Amino acid sequence: MFMKKIICFVPIAIGIVLLVAFTAQKKSKVIFFGDSITGAGVGRGGYITRIDSMCKLENKSEQYEFVGTGIGGNKVYDLYLRLEDDVLSKNPDVVIIYIGVNDVWHKRPGRGTGTDPDKFEKFYQAIINKLKAKGSKIILCTPAAIGEKTDLSNGQDDDLNKYGDIIRGIAQKNSLPLVDLRQQFLSYNKQHNNENKESGILTTDRVHLSAKGNQLAADEMWKAIKAL
């Protein structure tokens, strides 16, 4: 009788062990969704690569999986159109949306077409609605820079600030965490860009991130990820 109880108990015990092991090994999949800045983020020295390195240094590599899906030139409606294939189909636990630079930058003559503020907000909210329906956690980011001059004399500062405000409003409306890279970059440049350069501090070309820019973005996003 005693042996029968042991025999019956063994499969249950094995099942429990396997279940615990499977649960412990499941990583939180974090997808970074954006444009060429995100595309470069998975490369050497990119902000996603840096986040992965910081994660390992903190012995949290068994907790997270980081995936970058950035395409050069993308605007908010491009993200909406590829949301299903590039994000939802991967069943993300967390999605970090980092978009807006091209929506503003491409308003310049010769750059194509940008995105009107009302359309930008509608597409952005539509992306959030689909991610919420999927059950994903969401982190929003404001676009950081189109020029680094500290006296707000960059040609598109007003628009960039306006679109940053739109994203801040969306974050508040949806009770979502916000990584305010716009404010972080402005603050950093006020302290370190004494010569009022338009690039070369946090960006290489006024838009794409330098090593310091990638590290700043990585630091802020990593803090937001761990806070979820």
Task: Summarize pLDDT for 4-58 with one digit per residue, the tens.
Answer: 555 555 455 454 444 444 445 689 999 999 999 999 999 999 999 999 999 999 9
The amino acid present at 182, given as its one-letter code, is R
- What's the first-to-final CA gap in the chain, in angstroms? 50
Specify whether the CB–CB gap between 130 and 199 falls below 8 A: no
List, in order, residues 6 or more apart from 147 with CB less than 8 Å away. 154, 155, 156, 157, 198, 199, 206
HEC assignment per residue over the chain: CHHHHHHHHHHHHHHHHHHHHHHHHCCEEEEEEECHHHHHHCCCCCHHHHHHHHHHHCCCCCCEEEEEEECCCCCHHHHHHCHHHHCHHHCCCEEEEECCHHHHHCCCCCCCCCCCHHHHHHHHHHHHHHHHHHCCEEEEECCCCCCCCCCCCCCCHHHHHHHHHHHHHHHHHCCCCEECHHHHHHHHHHHHCCCCCCCCCCECCCCCECHHHHHHHHHHHHHHHHHC
Task: Summarize pLDDT for 153-201 with one digit per residue, the tens.
Answer: 999 999 999 999 999 999 999 999 999 999 999 999 999 999 999 999 9
Q: What angle do CA 134, 137, 138 make, to 5 degrees?
A: 105
Number of Cβ within 10 Å of residue 182's Cβ equals 21
pLDDT of residue 17: 41
Task: Summarize pLDDT for 109-155 with one digit per residue, the tens.
Answer: 776 789 999 999 999 999 999 999 999 999 999 999 999 999 989 99
pLDDT of residue 106: 93
Q: Please tell me the distance from the alpha carbon of residue 156 to that of residue 161, in angstroms, as a whole number.
A: 9
Q: Please tell me the distance from the alpha carbon of residue 2 to that of residue 77, in angstroms, as a whole number.
A: 67
- Supply the CATH classification number for the domain 27-227: 3.40.50.1110
The phi and psi torsions of 46 (rounded to 5 degrees) equal: -70, 160
Locate the domains of the chain by residue range: 27-227
